[in-house]
């Protein structure tokens, strides 16, 4: 369930960033987190979109694998 929630959150952040042209920079410290606009900083913008997509797809795959294993154990 957590992997699905993380995957959904990362998908939402990525989709929102693509539609609005600005997204949050994924920083470890909150003092470094900021909004990155595609027009002003394209490299930082696309890097953050790729980070969100990678995490989202990875957790989605993990959730799918977990569901498959649960079904296999129950059968």
Taking phi first (over 0 means left), then psi (-120 to 50 degrees means alpha), and beta for anything else, what does residue 7 get?
alpha
Whether 1 shows a pLDDT value over 80: the answer reads no
pTM over the 0.75 mark: yes
pLDDT at 28 over 90: no
Q: Is pLDDT at 52 greater than 90 in this prediction?
A: yes
């Amino acid at each position: 369930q957590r992997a699905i929630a993380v995957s959904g959150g990362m998908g939402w952040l990525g989709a929102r960033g693509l539609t609005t042209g600005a997204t949050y920079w994924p920083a470890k410290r909150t003092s470094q987190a900021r909004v990155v606009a595609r027009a002003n900083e394209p490299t930082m913008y696309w890097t953050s979109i790729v980070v969100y997509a990678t995490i989202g797809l990875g957790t989605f795959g993990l959730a799918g694998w977990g569901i498959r294993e649960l079904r296999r154990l129950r059968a």
